[in-house]
Chains A and B, each alone.
Chain A
Amino acid sequence: MAKKIVVDPIPRIEGHLRIEATLNDSNVIEDAYSSGTMWRGIEVILKGRDPRDAWAFTERICGVCTTVHALASVRCVEDALGLTIPTNARIIRNLMNATQVTQDHLVHFYHLHAFDWVDVVSALKADPKQTSAIAQSISPWAKSSVGYFKDLQQRLVGFVESGQLGIFSNGYWGHPAYKLPPEVNLIAVAHYLEALDFQKEIVKIHTIFGGKNPHPNYLVGGMACAIDPNSDTAINIERLSMIKKIIDDTNTFIDQVYIPDLLAIAGYYKGWLHGGGIGNYLSYGDFPETTLEDFKTLLWPRGAILNKDLSTVIDVDPRDASQVTEEVSHSWYTYSKGDGKGLHPWQGETNPNYTGPKPPFAHLDTDKKYSWLKTPRWNNHAMEVGPLARVLIAYAKGDPMIKDTVGMVLSKLGVGPEALFSTLGRTAARGIECKQTAGFMRHYYDQLIANIKTGDLRTFNSDRWDPSTWPDECKGFGYTEAPRGSLGHWIQIKDKKIKEYQIVVPSTWNASPRDANGVSGAYESALKGTPMINPEQPLEILRTVHSFDPCLACASHLFDMHGNEITSVTIV
């Protein structure tokens, strides 16, 4: 008889996500339902406010990617007001965005996803000598001596013996789905800790350009930082050389630590190619070399791929009312013209209406409404967004850097391109992309220096700062590719105030419930067909869900009143 398994909440993600899955007699997942269990509602808070302030509010909806919402927000207001930003502002935003993606991918790999593949407790049994030999065989990274690993292992033993497993306490240690030898586990744990040092350095770039971090400053019309090579308080030579050093160190860390670790770990899991999912991929594109509307200059191309067909990349226009829509046939909202009718975000409505069971409950009524996430569709297709989507689109479009790096990864692992359509492929795509965006950081640094050398120090266009210059009514669209996928902000401005604001975030695309036709979202599809060794320890579910880098905070509410800290796994 079919079993039903409930994992709530999924640990090590931002926000609250519940997965319900049915298993057949051989413990293979037959069907899955993804539910965002808390409401977001930023749209409601923004109504009636000054559009120039919207970025500062949207920056607060997420605990991770503050900058991406600020960026999409200033872009949508600038679009509405017909405002172009100075070259320096475009470059600085691109550099900050490349920094954000690079940092986020690296933190995701080591701090949120690694323990789906790496067994910390096994690392306690590693032989430091062998660990050192393996580390030195895969990378020239300096911290690889026998003594280094021995010392780390001793600290780890002390930590575990003190009973303070803390950060490591939620793992399914010893689970048979873990395949790494103890020595590779120890290398990964070492780099888990080293990556913390890395991430605190890299965010200094946000502090320098954004004035502070977390929550760096953005500005409608440009950036709030002044550039003056000779001033003590502005972006000057000293700060620029500090940025240069951080960028160099970042590239070294990715080339010598992240990529070798990714390849070493993936080598042990290339037989586990589950989790492919819907096979439809979407990217709005990002990193403009001129303006956001000059799509051909985007370093991350815009486009869509359907049914894993890499021979065709279809054009995408998120302004087109028929292309990007959200419906609520399985979401706890009502629409005035029918819940199953997709609405473009400029026509969007946010009327919450919870009709689910009263907590505590055993199961959601998945035939009806079962999530706080709406169901976004592109031309009526369920789409996957994020690194895998972007890498596949760039690959299909023939981007030379992506083609080379994907080719290198596939050949080192000895697998074909079809392996990309999997959980592991998603995880590999994130690493490939991280190497790419670290390169973008260099590119934009060089661009900035070159532009400053022309004597152009402008960072702000004040032409539309005064609301008296605005039309009575206007609307705008702002997009970015956040680390975890396509992010769109759609604004309508009337009488100098925000009339409507709609945000469609990456995790809503990926974690969406079914649509009116019963078609599953990306998480739901990806989980189907996955065999589980032990349903009471749903490591395989975590692996696939984490591979999308879920971020449900901006898809839903933040705080859990009941302190639901411990993931409960229920099997009926």
Chain B
Amino acid sequence: MQFSVKYNRINIIGLGNLLHGDEGFGVTALNAFRGASSFPERVNWIDGGTQGIYLLDYIESCDAVLVFDALIPVEYDRGVYVYRNEELPAFIHRKMSSHQMGFSELLGLAQLRGKMPKEIVLIGIPPRELELNIGLSPEVSLLMPEALEKGRAIIDGWLAEG
């Protein structure tokens, strides 16, 4: 049992559609991160696809959640973007699928139900190519190591806190 731990359960979620080029960034990042990590059991890996409302449980059931997703930020320069907690809803312009339930709506629902995690971080890269194609564009692939490094720092931090 881990009564003394601050983050009993940490969920890492990859979002997006693998069939549409850089749309698949989140899921690709999740798989790469998972392959290169050996976190303790309280860290869970979730390939969320484009499941929208069906992902609510994965947000509500943990103390901290890290999300990887292709996103269109307000400032549309290439790079790795990291948004924390209250920065989140305002920055996410992207609509997820599942009946157009966006990630920000999911957070809204979790809030209304009083089941928000203590920490939410989103790591995103603006997509370059969204054509029907399996695999990331070279531009997005080049940013992948930086995205994973930032993800690792966040998870390490949460694990170190308790």
Contacts and interface: CB of A to CB of B under 8 A. Distances in A.
Contact of A553 (B97, B101, B114, B134): B97
Contacts of A164: 89, 108, 111
Interface string B38-72: 00000000011111111111000000000000001
Interface string A528-572: 000000000000000000000000010001111101010000000
Contact of A215 (B49, B52, B98, B127): B49
Contact of A63 (B94, B98, B113): B98
Interface in B107-128: 107-109, 111-114, 127
B105 A63 contact: no
A41 B132 contact: yes
Interface string A374-413: 0000000000000000000000000000000000000000
Contact of B19 (A12, A60, A111, A563): A60
B97 A558 contact: yes
Contacts of A167: 101, 105, 108-109, 112
Contact of A196 (B50, B105, B113): B113
Nearest to B105: A167
Contacts of A57: 19
B95 A565 contact: yes
Given A199-B54, A553-B97, A166 B105 contact: yes
Contacts of B48: 214
B105 to A, nearest CB: 5
Contacts of A64: 51-52, 54, 97-99
Contacts of A62: 50, 97
Interface in A137-169: 155-156, 159, 164, 166-167
A45 B19 contact: yes
A506 interface: no
A63 B52 contact: yes
Nearest to B109: A167
B19 A155 contact: no
A490 to B, nearest CB: 19
A66 interface: yes
A193 interface: yes
B99 A60 contact: no
A44 B105 contact: no
A112 interface: yes
Interface residues on A, range: 35 or more
B144 to A, nearest CB: 19
Contact of A60 (B18, B56, B109, B112): B18
Contact of B98 (A14, A560, A563): A14
B85 to A, nearest CB: 14
A107 B53 contact: yes
A561 B89 CA distance: 18
Contacts of A342: none
Interface in B11-39: 17-20, 23
B111 A159 contact: yes
B100 to A, nearest CB: 6
B80 interface: no
Given A45-B132, A61-B19, A558-B50, A12 B99 contact: yes
Given A45-B132, A166-B108, A559 B113 contact: no
A559 B23 contact: yes
A63 B95 contact: no
B104 interface: yes
B112 to A, nearest CB: 5
Given A155-B112, A166-B104, A199-B54, A214 B20 contact: no
Given A166-B104, A557-B132, A558-B50, A60 B114 contact: no
Interface string A46-64: 0000000000010011111
Interface string A251-284: 0000000000000000000000000000000000
Task: Give the secondary structure class of A's interface.
Answer: loop
B20 A63 contact: no
B114 A155 contact: yes
B71 to A, nearest CB: 10
A553 B96 CA distance: 11
A433 B19 CA distance: 32
A553 B49 CA distance: 13
A550 to B, nearest CB: 9
Nearest to B133: A45
A557 B96 CA distance: 13
- Residue among A12, A45, A199, A214 with most chain B CB within 10 A: A214
A513 interface: no
B99 A111 contact: yes
B159 interface: no
Nearest to A58: B19
Given A63-B52, A563-B72, A11 B100 contact: yes
B49 to A, nearest CB: 5
A196 B60 CA distance: 11
Interface of A: 9, 11-15, 39, 41-42, 44-45, 57, 60-64, 66, 107, 111-112, 155-156, 159, 164, 166-167, 193, 196, 199-200, 203, 212, 214-215, 553, 557-561, 563, 565
Interface of B: 17-20, 23, 47-57, 72, 89, 93-102, 104-105, 107-109, 111-114, 127, 130, 132-134
Given A14-B99, A62-B97, 6 more contacts: A13-B99, A42-B132, A45-B19, A57-B19, A166-B108, A214-B55
